[in-house]
Amino acid sequence: MKIAPGRTLAVVGESGCGKTTLARMAAGLLKPDSGSISFKGRSLARWEKKGLRKNMQVVFQDADGSLNPNFSTRDLLLEPLLLHGLSRSEAEERLPELLSMVGLVPDLLHRHPHEMSGGQRQRIGIARAMCLSPALVIADEPVSALDRSIQAQILSLLQSFQSDSGVSYLYISHDLGSVRAVAHDVAVMLGGLFVETGPAEDVFANPLHPYTKLLLADDNCSELPFKNYSVDLENRQGAEEGCPFAGCCNYCEPQCTKGVSGLIEVEPERSVRCRMVHRIA
Residue 261 has pLDDT above 90, yes or no: no
pLDDT confidence of residue 187: 97
Lowest-pLDDT range, 1-10, 30-39, 60-69, 98-107? 60-69
Nearest CA-CA partner of 146 in 182, 175, 181: 175
Percent of the chain at pLDDT > 90 equals 52
pLDDT at position 220, please?
41
pLDDT band at 238 (very low <50, low <70, confident <90, very high): low
- Pairwise pLDDT comparison (166 vs 16), residue with the higher score: 166
Q: What is the mean pLDDT of the chain?
A: 87
Q: What is the mean pLDDT of residues 209-217?
A: 87
Query: What dotted CATH number matches 8-183?
Result: 3.40.50.300
Task: Select the more confidently predicted residue: 64 or 224.
Answer: 64
Query: Lowest-pLDDT range, 114-118, 167-171, 202-206, 220-224?
Result: 220-224
- Mean pLDDT within 152-170: 93
Report the pLDDT averaged over residues 69-94.
93
Q: What is the pLDDT of residue 219?
A: 42
Residue pair 227/245 in contact by the 8 Å Cβ criterion: no
pLDDT in tens, 164-181: 999 999 999 988 889 999
* Cα distance between residue 77 and residue 95, in whole Å: 7
Residue 268 has pLDDT above 50, yes or no: yes
Provide the terminal-to-terminal Cα distance of the chain, rounded to the nearest Å. Answer: 23
Long-range contacts made by residues 184-187, C-beta under 8 angstroms, separation at least 24?
184/7, 184/8, 184/9, 185/3, 185/7, 185/8, 185/9, 185/10, 186/9, 186/10, 186/11, 186/12, 187/1, 187/9, 187/10, 187/11, 187/12
Annotated domain spans of the chain: 8-183, 198-280
Proportion of the chain above pLDDT 70, given as a percent: 91
Would you say residue 235 has pLDDT above 70?
no
In terms of pLDDT, which residue wins out, 219 or 174?
174
User: What band does 222 get if pLDDT is binned at 50, 70 and 90?
Assistant: very low
Q: What average pLDDT score do residues 230-243 get?
A: 66
Tell me: pLDDT of 144 over 90. no
pLDDT above 90 (res 76) = yes
Among 52-66, 167-181, 221-235, whose mean pLDDT is lowest? 221-235
Question: How many other CB atoms are found less than 10 A from the CB of residue 209?
Answer: 27
